[in-house]
Amino acid sequence: MHITTIQLEDVLAHPEYISIHQMPGIHLDLRYAGVDNFIGHNLYGDFDGGLLHSQAASQLARAATILQAERPGWRLRVLDALRPGRVQRLLWDRVKGTPQHIYVADPARGSIHSFGMAVDVTLENEHGQQQDMGTRFDDFSLLAQPCQERQMLQAGLLDHQQLKQRQLLRSCMQQAGFHGIASEWWHFEAADRGWIRANMLLVE
């Protein structure tokens, strides 16, 4: 499949990519723009990572509104949004040949983050406190996998409150048109992967 690309430097002037910095109900806490990530380095440098494709941004705004209706004062805390292909390659080079490679999309195929159509999110309450979801962001254990939640609950490794928070997050995101994946509770995509790769621009 041929993927059409756009350079990161051209994205700010492109009408289909918008900033989510001032979006109501959203708190940006971009982990790859600092050192609180599994690499331990700032991978974004001067890049403003608070961008999404307009379709994903619209869905995210809807999810934040749904959350506010469920939990007044709560916000979605965005941990990653648009991730350029050049950053995806840095992540891939770090995990290639390790057990963690299954959690990082091969940049040759194109991470959905690189199209601005995926977002990593968690919940925070009305006091700005991040909620306990059972693991940290970018945890590579089975405990982070939605497909393992029932087993983790039965084993006592995930408690009912943590599961309830994950279910609340998923409900808000799914009602807004996102879908999650089996391996990461925080990761949501705004459309079908095949459609995205065939029809949208990958940001390099």
Name 188's Cβ contacts closer than 8 Å, sequence gap at least 6. 118, 119, 120, 121, 173, 178, 179, 180
pLDDT by residue (tens digit) across 148-191?
999 999 999 999 999 999 999 999 999 999 999 999 999 999 99
pLDDT by residue (tens digit) across 30-48?
999 999 888 888 888 888 7
Name 184's Cβ contacts closer than 8 Å, sequence gap at least 6. 103, 120, 144, 145, 146
pLDDT by residue (tens digit) across 85-129?
998 888 888 778 777 766 677 777 889 999 999 999 999 999 999
* Overall fold of domain 5-203: Muramoyl-pentapeptide Carboxypeptidase; domain 2 (3.30.1380)
pTM: predicted TM-score of the whole model, two decimal places: 0.94
Per-domain residue ranges of the chain: 5-203
Collect contacts of 155-163 with beta carbons under 8 A, ≥24 apart. 158/134, 159/134, 161/132, 162/132, 162/133, 162/134, 163/134
* Catalytic positions: 184
